Chains A and B, each alone.
Chain A
C-alpha cells in the first residue's frame, strides 16, 4: 500500500511550529482549506498538481453512490490507521468497518432527532431520580444509613482523600450531568431546526467529557458494594440504583450515535 510518492517536510505535522495558545487561531487562511477534493469520472481522487490518480477504497462494494466531486463530508478517515474511505449511506443495523484496521467508522442511525431528544429528556429525569434517592440502605441494630451518588464522593472528601473524591465526583456526578445537560441544549435547538448558541464549544466539551464519564462503572461498583455488604448487614437496594441502571442504558444508546451526526449540525463554512 506504499505509494512511493516523493516526500517533503511539508507533509508532516511535526514540521508545523506550534504557536502560543493565544495566537493559535489568528491569521489562518481558512479559505485555503479546501472542502472539495478533485476526482475523475471513475471515482478516483486526482491529486492536485500531479497527473497520478489513486483509487479510494470503498466502505462497501458496489456501484458508487456519488459521481464527480465528492464533498469532504463524503470522505471518512479512520482515526486509528489513517485509511481513507468514501462514506456511503448505511442500511438499518449496518455498521461500516475500516478496511485497514477494522475499527467501526460509522453506524446506521435509526433514531431521529425527536427520538434522541425524548431519550435525553428521559435521561435527565432519571439522573434527577438517581441522585435524589438513595442507592441503597443498610441496617445495623435498629440504626440505618443510606448512600446516594454524591455521598460516595463526599465521604472521600475528608482529609487527604480529596484527590479520589474529586475524580469520583467529576466522573460519576458532574460529567454525566453536564453531558445530559449539553445534549439537551443541542437537541432542543436541533428539534426546531435551529443551531444551538455556542454549538462548537458544546460539541468540543461533549467530545472531551465522553471518555471520563463513568456512570456504568459506578453502577457496577454499587452492585459490588451491595453484594459485599450483604454478607455482614441487611442491605436494601433503593430507587436510586434502578434509576442509575436505566440511566446507564440510555447514556449507552446516546453514545452510539456517531460523532459525524453531531458535527454535521455545525456548518463548515461558518
Chain B
C-alpha cells in the first residue's frame, strides 16, 4: 500500500508546507514573551511606582496568556496566521503595562500612544478564525482599518490637547477640547466594537455546526468587545469607571486564547473517534463507509463521491451524481487517492479544514476502506470468472465424452456389429458356397482394419500417446498430418500438463488453419522466456479469426487459464493468424 496523500488541489496541503518560524526566532519569541510578562508583573511584585489596580494585574496577565496561547497555536498550525495574530495581540498588550509606569516621559508617551494598538490584531484575529488568520474580504480589511480613527488619529489628537504630564505630545492643552476628543474617541471605539461583535455574532449564527465550534473563540472575543463598549459608554454616562465591568472585561479577554486552545485540544480528541472509525470499518462488513465517516466527523451531510469510470464525474454509492468540488461555500472536498489514482472524493463540511490532521487521517482511512472494497469486489469478480471457467471445463469434458461416445457408436461399434453379422452369415455359407464365404471373410477383414484405424484415431483424441515421446515429436506428428505445410521449432521439455495443453493448442490451431485460413504455410514454435513457456502457431492465411467466437478457442483458453496461462489470438484480416499461449512454468 502506497503512502496516501492529499492532492495539491485541497487547501489542506499548504497547511503542512508553510514554514513555521525558525528555531532561533522561536526561542526568541518565547523568551521575549516570558521576560515581558515578568517585567509587566514587576510593579505588582515590587510595589514600585503608581499603585496597581486589580484589573491592571489581570491586564498584565492578558498579554502573557495571549502570547503563550498564540505561540502554541502557531507551532501546531504554522500554516494559519491565527497563532501569529494572537502572539502579536499578546505582545501589543505588554506595551502599556511596560511603558506606562516608567519614569521616562518618552516611555509614558509611547505607552499612551500605543495603548490600544492591540485591538488591530485582536479584531483581525476575531474576524479570521475561519480563514486561517487572513483578512480575505474588503469589508473585514476596512473594519480593521477603521479602528485607526479612534486608536491612532483621535489618540494623537487627544494627546495633543491633553496636559503635558507624561505626555511629550502635549502641544495645546485644553480641557474642553480634550473632553470632546475623548468623547468622540469613546463613541467611535465603542461603536466599532459593537459592529465587530454584531458581525461575529451574525457569522456564528450562519455557520454550520462544526464551524460554530471553530468560531467559539471568536464569539468570546466579540463578547469582550461588547463589554469594552459598555465600559466606555459607562465611563461617559457615569463619569467614573466601573470597577466591576473592568474586572469582567479583563477576565473575559483571557477566555479568547483559552477557547482557542480548547479548540485545538478538541481536534486532538477527535482523533479518538478515528480509532473507532477504523474499528468499525474493520469489524463491520456491511456498514456504509459514508455512514461511518459521517459519524466520525459528526457531519451528517458528508458524502463519499466515487469517481465514475471513464469520465470526470462523480456519484455517491447509490449512483446519484455529486458535484466535486461542491458549489456551496460551506462544503469542501478532498481527493481520495491510491497509488496516484483517484478513487473517490470526500465532500465534507468546510469547517473540517480547520483540522487538517483529522481530515488527512479520515481521508487516509477512507482510501484504505475504498481500496479494500475494490479488492473485495475484484476477488468476487475473479471467483465468478473461475466458476464460469470451471463450469465450461466440465461442460467441455462432457461434450468431449459425448463426442467420443458418438464416434464409438457410429464408427467402430457399428462396424463391429456388421462384422459379427457378416461372420454369422459366413458361418452359414462356408460349406454351401465357399466362394461367397471367401468374399465375406475378405470384407470382414477390411471392416476390421477400418475399425482399428478409427479406434486409434479416437484414442489419440483422448490422450495423445505420441506425447510419450516428447512434445517436439508430438508436434512433428501433428504437423505431418496437417494439410498445410507446417514447420515445427521446439527444443524444450515441459511438465506433462503443460505439454498436453501446448499440444492441444497446436492441434486446435492447426485444425483451424486447415479449415479456415486458406494458408500456404504454417509454423509452430515453442520456446521459453524466463518463467514462461510460449507456444505460437502462425499461418499466412486470410486472418480475420475471432477469438471470442467458437467453442474451440474458448475451450483452449479455459484449458490454458486453468494452468494460469493466457491465450491470445492476433488475426488481422488478410494478414494471417497467430494463436499464442503463454504458460507459466517455474
- Say whether A and B bind each other: no
User: A residues bordering B, Cβ < 8 Å?
Assistant: none
B residues near A (Cβ < 8 Å) are none
